[in-house]
Amino acid sequence: MFPVKELKRSLFVSIWFAFLTFPIMVIKVDPIERIVSWRWDNMIFVAIGSFVLSILAKVYFVRKERRAGSKKAQTVLTEPYVHRILREPRFLYPLSLAVLTFAILFPHLFSAYQTNIMTTALMYVVLGLGLNIVVGVAGLLDLGYVAFYAVGAYSYALLNMHFGLSFWLAMPIGGLLAAFVGVLLGFPVLRLRGDYLAIVTLGFGEIIRLVLENWNDFSQGPSGIANISRPGFFGIDMSFSASINYIYYLVVGLVVVTIFVVNRLQSSRLGRAWLALREDEIACQAMGIDKTKTKLIAFSLGAFWAGLVGVIFAAKTTFVNPASFTFLESAIILSIVVLGGMGSIVGVILGALTLILLPEYLRALSEYRMLAFGAILVIMMIFRPEGLISNVRRSYRFKKQTSSESE
C-alpha cells in the first residue's frame, strides 16, 4: 500500500529529527559532577517516534486527498454538522441557554478555586474575541495585543491609586484609553501589511512593557502597584469568596455582551468591509472602502476590549506589574484565535477554554505549556488550518419568496 519513496522520506525525516534533537536528547552534561552521559537510547526513541508520526501524517493526507477526489457533495453533507447546529436557531438557542445556565450555576456547583480559574478562562474568552476582530475578521496580524491589556490594567491601577477612582468608572476609561492608544499606534502602523505589521506590533507590545518596567515615577517599575480596590457593589463590603463570585458574574456578563457585540459587528456593513479587506485590499479601495479608517476601527475596537479586560484583571488580582504583560501573553491570546478558528465566535470560545483550562487541570502538562502550544499550533496548521470551528457566513434567502424581499 505504501510506496517505497514515501518510506524513504519518512526514514530521512526520522534521521533528521534524531540529528536535530541530538544535543538535548542524547548529551547530558552534569556540570557539578563533571560527567557527560550519552543517552543513546533516547535517540532511538526519537527516531522511531518521528518515523511513525511521519508515516501517520502521510496516511492521513493520502486519505484526505482521496476523500476530496471522490466526491464533493459527500463532504458537503458530512462536514458541517457543527455549522448546522450553529446556524439553526432551534438548536442554537437551547444550547446557548444550557451553557448560560451552567455558567450561572457554576460558582454554586464548584469551589471558589474552580470559580477563580473559570474567571480567568472567561477573561481570555473576551480577550480572544477582541483579538478575533483584529486578526480573525479584519486579518491584521497583531502580535502586541497585550499592550492594550496592560493599558487597561494600569489605567485602573494608577487612577485608583492616585485618585481613588472606582472600578465602575475605570472600566469605560480603561477601555477608551486602550482604544485611544490603539488609534495612536494604528495611524502610522496600519499601512504595513502581514509580516511587517506583525513585527511592528510585536515591538510596540515590548515598548509598552519596557516603559512600565523602567519608568519608576509613573508605574512604580517592576515592583508594580498593589492594593488596588476590588470592584464595589453599591458600597457593600463583600467577603473574599463573595467577591470572587462577584467578579465571576461580572466576567460572565462581559462575555455575553462581547459575544452579542462581536456577532452584530460581524454581520454588519463594517464586518463585511473587514472581511473584504482581508480578502483583497486593492479591490476594496476600488469599491469605495476607506482602507485606513476601516482598519483603524477594527484595531481600536480590539484594543477597547483588551482595555476592559485589563481593568478587570487589575481588580481581580488587586495587583499589577509589568511581568503580567509579556509577549507570551500576546502569543497565548493569538493561539486562542488561531486554534479556535479565525473569525468564528464559538471557535474562539472553545479555543480559550481549551488553552487556559487544560494546563490548569493537567498540572503535569503546565510544565510543557510552551512546548504544547508550539506543537498544537503546528499540528493545527497542518491538519486544520481553518481552526477548530471555521467561520460560517450568514446566508440570504430569496429563492423561497422569489420576490426581491430579503431575510
Partner 1 sequence: MSEAILNVSNLTMDFGGIRALDSVDIEIHRGEIVALIGPNGAGKTTFFNCLTGIYTPSAGEIQLRHPETGKKSRLNGMKPNKITEKGMARTFQNIRLFANMSVLENVMIGRHCRSHALIFGAIFRNPATRKEEREIVDISYQILKKVGLHKQVNEQAKNLSYGAQRRLEIARALATDPFLLLLDEPAAGMNPQETEALINLIRLICSEGHSILLIEHDMKLVMSLSDRIFVMDYGKKIAQGTPEEVRSNPAVIKAYLGEDVDA
Residues that bind partner 1 (CB under 8 A): 261, 264-265, 268-273, 275-276, 279-280, 282-291, 297, 301, 393, 395-396, 398-399, 404-407
Residue nearer to partner 1 on the CB measure, 49 or 80: 80
Per-residue DSSP letter, 191:
T
Residue nearer to partner 1 on the CB measure, 237 or 405: 405
Residue nearer to partner 1 on the CB measure, 39 or 71: 71
CB of 29 to partner 1, least distance (A): 52
Cell digits of residue 214: 523602567
Contact yes or no for 366/360 (Cβ under 8 A): yes
H or E segment and range at residue 29: strand 27-30
Residue nearer to partner 1 on the CB measure, 289 or 372: 289
CB of 333 to partner 1, least distance (A): 22
CB of 284 to partner 1, least distance (A): 7
Q: How many residues does the chain have?
A: 407
Residue nearer to partner 1 on the CB measure, 78 or 404: 404
CB of 130 to partner 1, least distance (A): 14
Cell digits of residue 97: 441557554
Reduced to 3 states (helix: H, G, I; strand: E, B; else coil), residue 80 is coil
Cα→Cα distances 60→26, 140, 292, 339, Å: 30, 32, 42, 20
Contact yes or no for 186/153 (Cβ under 8 A): no
CB of 306 to partner 1, least distance (A): 16
Residue nearer to partner 1 on the CB measure, 13 or 273: 273
29 forms bridges with which residues in the sheet?
A: 36
How would you classify residue 182: left for phi > 0, otherwise alpha for psi between -120 and 50, otherwise beta?
alpha
**Among candidate residues 332, 333, 335, 349, the one with its CA nearest the CA of residue 389:** 349
CB of 292 to partner 1, least distance (A): 9
Grid cell 523602567 is found at 214
Residue nearer to partner 1 on the CB measure, 240 or 396: 396
Read off φ and ψ for residue 304, nearest 5 degrees. -55, -45
Task: Measure the CA angle with vertex 157, ends 151 and 162; round to 5°.
Answer: 120
CB of 242 to partner 1, least distance (A): 32
Contact yes or no for 389/354 (Cβ under 8 A): no
Residue nearer to partner 1 on the CB measure, 297 or 320: 297
233 forms bridges with which residues in the sheet?
A: 236
CB of 347 to partner 1, least distance (A): 16
